[in-house]
C-alpha cells in the first residue's frame, strides 16, 4: 500500500501538476495510461484485503485461526487487476525508456523525485520509478510462498487448510495468466518474447506430461506459440 500510494503521490500527481509541463499536455494522459496502467486498481484491491485482515485480527486476535478464506476471496478480486497490470508491463517499460531517452525534462523530473524519497527514519531510498512499477509482479509472487508456509503450519483438524490450498492454486493461476499476457504484449521482443512453451505452462501441469507430450509441445506447438498473439496457455498445456 505504501509503494502504491507513493507512485500516485510522488509521480502521477506531480506529473499532472507540473508547470511548465514535463510531458506535453496533449500527450500527458496517454503517457500516464501507458506507463502506470491500472496500478491504482491494484491499490484498491490491496486496500480491501488489508481492511479485511484488520477486521479478522480484531475478531480473532491474538491468534488467527482462519485466513485462507480471505485470500481466496482476494484472489477473485485480483483476477482482473493483476494480470492486466503485469501483462501491460512490457509496454510500460518500453514507453518509459523511450521518454527517458528523448525527454531531458522528464529525466530530470525522475532524478529529482528519486532523490526526494526517504525511509521512515529519513535515510535516502535511492529507488527509481521502474523499481516501483515492477513491485506488483514481485508482490503477487510472494502470496503463494507465504500461504504455503501458513499451510505447512496449519493443523489437519483446522478446516481453513482447504481454503489456504485453494487460495494458493487460485493465485498461481493468476500468475500463469499474467505471464501469458506478458508474453503476448512483448510481441516477440525482449526476454518475454523469447519464452518457450514450458515458460508459460505451470510446473504442476508440466509434471503430468509424458515424454511424448513434452516433445510434441517443444517441436510442434512451439513454432506456433512464438508468433501467436492469441494463444491460450490452457489450450497449449492440455494438448496431447
Q: pLDDT of 118-135, one tens digit each?
A: 877 778 877 899 999 999
DSSP per-residue letters across 32-56: HHHHHTTHHHHHHHHHHHHHHHHHH
Q: pLDDT of 139-189, one tens digit each?
A: 999 999 999 999 999 998 999 999 999 999 999 999 999 988 888 776 555
Note whether 60 and 15 are within 8 A (CB).
Answer: no
Domain with CATH 1.20.900.10 in the chain: 2-195
The Cα 35–Cα 39 span in angstroms is 9
Q: Domain 2-195 maps to which CATH number in 3.10.580.10, 2.40.33.10, 3.40.50.10490, 1.20.900.10?
A: 1.20.900.10
Q: pLDDT of 86-96, one tens digit each?
A: 999 999 999 99
pTM of the model: 0.76
Q: What is the mean pLDDT of residues 181-198?
A: 60
Q: pLDDT of 96-119, one tens digit each?
A: 999 999 999 999 999 999 999 887
Residue 202 has pLDDT above 60, yes or no: no
The Cα 90–Cα 78 span in angstroms is 20
The Cα 209–Cα 197 span in angstroms is 13
pLDDT at 138: 93
Closest C-alpha among 101, 95, 116, 113 to residue 28: 95
pLDDT at 233: 45
Q: What is the mean pLDDT of residues 220-239?
A: 46
Distances (CA, A) of 9 to 12, 117, 161, 167: 6, 11, 39, 32
Share of the chain above pLDDT 90, in %: 65
Residue 210 has pLDDT above 70, yes or no: no
Q: How confident is the model at residue 27 (pLDDT cuts 50, 70, 90)?
A: very high
Mean pLDDT of all residues belonging to the chain: 84
Share of the chain above pLDDT 70, in %: 77
Q: Is 20 exposed, middle or buried (0-12, 13-18, 19+ CB in 10 A)?
A: exposed
The Cα 213–Cα 210 span in angstroms is 5
Euclidean distance between the first and final Cα of the chain, in Å? 43
Residue 124 pairs in a beta bridge with: 118
Half-sphere exposure of 117 (CA within 13 A, CB side): 20
Q: Which is more confidently placed, 238 or 191?
A: 191
Amino acid at each position: 500500500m505504501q509503494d502504491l500510494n507513493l507512485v500516485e503521490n510522488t509521480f502521477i500527481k506531480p506529473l499532472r501538476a507540473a508547470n511548465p509541463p514535463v510531458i506535453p499536455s496533449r500527450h500527458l494522459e496517454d503517457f500516464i495510461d501507458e506507463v502506470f496502467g491500472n496500478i491504482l486498481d491494484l491499490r484498491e484491491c490491496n486496500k480491501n484485503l488489508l481492511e479485511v485482515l484488520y477486521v479478522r485480527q480484531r475478531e480473532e486476535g491474538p491468534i488467527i485461526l482462519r485466513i485462507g478464506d480471505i485470500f481466496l476471496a482476494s484472489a477473485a478480486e485480483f483476477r482482473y487487476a493483476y494480470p492486466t497490470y503485469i501483462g501491460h508491463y512490457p509496454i510500460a517499460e518500453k514507453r518509459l525508456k523511450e521518454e527517458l531517452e528523448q525527454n531531458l525534462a522528464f529525466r530530470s523530473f525522475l532524478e529529482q523525485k528519486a532523490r526526494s524519497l526517504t525511509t521512515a527514519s529519513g535515510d535516502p531510498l535511492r529507488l527509481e520509478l521502474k523499481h516501483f512499477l515492477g513491485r506488483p509482479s514481485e508482490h503477487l509472487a510472494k502470496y503463494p510462498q507465504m500461504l504455503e508456509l501458513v499451510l505447512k503450519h496449519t493443523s489437519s483438524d483446522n478446516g481453513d487448510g482447504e481454503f489456504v490450498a485453494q487460495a494458493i492454486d487460485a493465485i498461481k493461476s493468476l500468475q500463469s495468466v499474467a505471464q501469458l499476457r506478458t508474453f503476448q504484449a512483448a510481441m516477440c521482443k525482449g526476454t518475454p518474447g523469447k519464452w518457450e512453451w514450458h515458460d508459460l505452462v505451470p510446473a504442476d501441469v508440466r509434471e503430468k506430461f509424458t515424454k511424448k507430450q513434452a516433445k510434441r509441445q517443444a517441436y510442434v506447438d512451439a513454432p506456433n506459440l512464438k508468433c501467436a498473439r492469441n494463444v491460450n496457455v490452457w489450450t497449449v498445456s492440455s494438448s496431447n
